[in-house]
Amino acid sequence: MDADAVFRALADPTRRGLLDQLFKRDGQTLGALGRRLTMTRFGVMKHLRVLEDAGLVVTRRRGREKLHFLNPVPIRLIHDRWIDKYTEPWAAMLSGVKQELEEGQMEKVFEIYIKTTPERLWQAIVDPELRAKYTFGVGVYSDWKPGSPYVSRTTSMTIAPNTPIAEGENLAVDPPRRLVQSFRALWGDDVKREGTSRVTWEIEPVGDSCRLTVTHDQLRDGANAELYGGWPMVLSGLKTLLETGELLTTPGSLLYLAPQSAAS
């Protein structure tokens, strides 16, 4: 991450306004964003390009439309580096934002650059011991074959060992490039009622680094923010672990997604 680019992007009030609009409603087209600003379409495009270059906005094609998504991960990294890396993890959860799609579902996209190899990054995703180091004591267990189940549970080093956190199926397994999983949260009654969504991990080599994109979709429109609010801190912790060998936080801060569940 280029911290200077992030600070420059955030320094402009128009660009902050665009991020505010995406925070309120994610996945908007250029036209929809432009209607909320008193400037030309070209001016909006220039500001969005600065935000994209800083990693604060990512885009996805949906048919003939180009949708813009807020990527909060660089802000999370700035927070960890410059503000308060020891803050309580649940205080860093971002509020949910709605994206109204025809199917009544919404999608969240997170992107981060990590200086590592695809093989090492893949290992950090599927190895339960490594995974637990940046997901605050939660390991993921599976044989990592297409169609096989997986389960996320707390490790023996946490305050509530062997607590089930999530479960699902490995829908596509293509190491070290792509992992697609169904996702059903188990840590509380509220999130259990949300049913099953989908998480896609995509790894792309870029020079001596990797671009990791995590897409959490098939979420109910207006879904509980606990389902996806912890991703920025998880990805920040993954980057810190692979680039420095250090831990962003300790297993004692479990659970990052639902702190009240840790005490139950």
66-120 pLDDT tens trace: 999 999 888 877 777 666 544 444 334 433 333 333 345 789 999 999 999 999 9
Give the per-residue pLDDT at 159: 67
The answer to which of 95-99, 124-128, 151-155, 196-200 has the lowest mean pLDDT is: 95-99
Kindly state the percentage of the chain with pLDDT values over 70: 82
Give the per-residue pLDDT at 104: 59
Instruction: Tell me which of 263 and 104 has the higher pLDDT.
Output: 104
Give the per-residue pLDDT at 248: 63
SS3 191: helix
Q: Return the bridge partners of 142, or none.
A: 150
Give the per-residue pLDDT at 38: 77
The pLDDT of residue 6 is above 60: yes
Give the per-residue pLDDT at 217: 94
3-state helix, strand and coil shares in percent for the chain, rounded to the nearest 5: 35, 30, 35
C-alpha to C-alpha distance for 262 and 158, rounded to whole angstroms: 9
SS3 243: helix
The answer to which of 22-36, 207-221, 245-259 has the lowest mean pLDDT is: 245-259
Whether the full predicted model's pTM is greater than 0.75, yes or no, is: no
Read off φ and ψ for residue 54, nearest 5 degrees: -85, -5
Give the per-residue pLDDT at 161: 83
Q: Which residue in this structure is represented by tokens 């959490």? A: 216
User: In this structure, are strands 164-174 and 178-185 parallel, antiparallel, or unpaired?
Assistant: antiparallel
Average pLDDT on 163-187 reads: 96
Q: Which two tokens stand for residue 226?
A: 């606990």
Give the per-residue pLDDT at 1: 65
Q: What is the pLDDT of residues 217-257, one digit of tens each?
A: 999 988 899 999 899 989 999 999 999 998 765 444 444 44
C-alpha to C-alpha distance for 230 and 257, rounded to whole angstroms: 6
Give the per-residue pLDDT at 76: 78
C-alpha to C-alpha distance for 62 and 74, rounded to whole angstroms: 24
Give the per-residue pLDDT at 25: 86
206 — pLDDT class (breaks 50, 70, 90) = very high
The pLDDT of residue 122 is above 80: yes
Label residue 56 exposed, middle or buried (CB < 10 Å: 0-12, 13-18, 19+).
buried
Give the per-residue pLDDT at 118: 97
Nearest to 260 by CA among 208, 191, 211, 198: 191
Q: Could you tell me where the DSSP H helices lie in the chain? A: 3-11, 13-24, 30-34, 41-53, 73-78, 118-126, 128-134, 189-192, 231-244, 259-262
Sign of CA dihedral 218, 222, 228, 232: positive
> What is the DSSP code string of 64-88?
TEEEEEE--HHHHHHIIIII-TTS-
